[in-house]
Amino acid sequence: MARKPISFTLNGNEVSIFVGESANLMEELRRNVGDLTPKHGCGQGTCGACTVMVDGEPQLSCITLAQSVEGRSIETVTGLSQGPVLHALQQAFIDGFAAQCGFCTPGMLMAAKALLDRNPRPSRDEVIEAISGNICRCTGYEPIVDAILIASGQSREVRR
């Protein structure tokens, strides 16, 4: 199968790889680069488990043509923590039991990070909107919304 050379930045590091012509970004990040944080939930843009950030905005890696990220900057959950020090979002998810099976968690974290980078003190409704493309089958969403509010330095009682 013909493969194409591409280069991009992944969590601040230069990456140069050969990708399949019509391969999606999620497959290449997982199988080729070895970053297993974007999860394969549906492969059709519906579940959000594969959410990464591309040039600062949330993007579904399963429906992103891998070769289209040439020269772009990609962030995944792998880049969230600083060594052993977890990102405020990760800590709040642990403290608030916002991850149960954990399958949706990387996508939730990236969708939440995209929100907080742009809007550091969101309302509850803005948090709900920000994760509206991400499905969780375990938590019932409330602990996730609370955790994102707490990571933003607000109380979970923050208004709608």
Ligand X SMILES: Cc1cc2nc3c(=O)[nH]c(=O)nc-3n(C[C@H](O)[C@H](O)[C@H](O)COP(=O)(O)OP(=O)(O)OC[C@H]3O[C@@H](n4cnc5c(N)ncnc54)[C@H](O)[C@@H]3O)c2cc1C
Alpha-carbon span 150 to 148, nearest angstrom: 5
Window of 98-106, 131-139, 142-150, 152-160 that interacts with other proteins by CB under 8 A: 131-139
Give yes or no for residue 58 binding other proteins (CB under 8 A): yes
Q: Segment 90-119, which members bind other proteins (CB under 8 A)?
A: 111, 114-115
Closest by alpha carbon to 109, among 69, 50, 154? 50
The closest residue (CB) to ligand X is 45
Among 136, 144, 132, 133, residue whose Cα is nearest residue 48: 133
Cβ(126)–Cβ(160) under 8 Å? no
* Paired residues of 6 in beta bridges: 17
Q: How far is the CB of 84 from other proteins (least distance, A)?
A: 29
What is the closest distance, in whole angstroms, from the C-beta atom of residue 134 to other proteins in the complex? 7
> 23-37 b/e with 16+ CB inside 10 Å = b?
bbbbbbbbebbebeb
Considering only 49, 62, 98, 150, the residue that binds other proteins (CB under 8 A) is: 62
Chain positions 33 to 62 lying near ligand X, rule: CB under 6 A, are: 45-46
Distance CA 56, CA 46 (A): 21
Compute the distance between CA of residue 137 and CA of residue 135 in angstroms, rounded to an integer. 7
Among 95, 117, 129, 142, binds other proteins (CB under 8 A): 129
- Shortest distance, position 126 Cβ to other proteins, whole Å: 10
22 binds, among other proteins, ligand FES, ligand X, none (CB under 5 to 8 A by kind): other proteins
* Position 53 contacts ligand FES (CB under 6 A): no
Instruction: Number of helices (H) and strands (E) in the chain: give both, helices first.
Output: 5, 5
Could you list the residues that contact ligand FES (CB under 6 A)? Answer: 40-43, 45-50, 60, 62, 99-104, 136-139
Could you list the residues that contact ligand X (CB under 6 A)? Answer: 45-46
